[in-house]
């Protein structure tokens, strides 16, 4: 089996995680504003909390980002 398309595991902080955390925070603030019909301050607080949680998990290396060895088993899209 050719696994040349596999990615190396990421150890430590992931720079892209901060961008995802920022997008998640902005999305959460927008949803709080639209769906919750709250003012800007509570919506910003929700966005800041979501940014903080995602930032710690993704940006600071709190989640292990790897591709397992057997990731190709069980799905058939013709690359084996």
Q: How many domains does the chain have?
A: 1
Tens digit of each residue's pLDDT (9 = 90 or more) over 7-60: 666 565 667 788 889 999 999 999 999 999 999 999 999 999 999 998 888 777
User: Helical H runs in 1-80?
Assistant: 15-34, 40-54
* 3: in domain: no
In three-state secondary structure terms, 65 is: strand
7 assigned to some structural domain:
no
Question: What is the residue range of 36's domain?
Answer: 15-59
24 assigned to some structural domain: yes
The answer to whether position 2 is within a domain reads no
pTM of the complete model: 0.61
């Amino acid at each position: 089996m050719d696994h040349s398309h596999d990615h190396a595991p990421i150890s430590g902080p992931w720079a892209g995680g901060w961008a995802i955390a920022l997008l998640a925070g902005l999305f959460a603030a927008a949803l709080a504003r639209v769906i919750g019909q709250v003012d800007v301050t509570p919506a910003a607080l929700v966005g800041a909390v979501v940014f903080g949680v995602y930032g710690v998990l993704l940006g600071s290396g709190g989640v292990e980002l790897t591709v397992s060895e057997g990731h190709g088993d069980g799905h058939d899209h013709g690359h084996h």
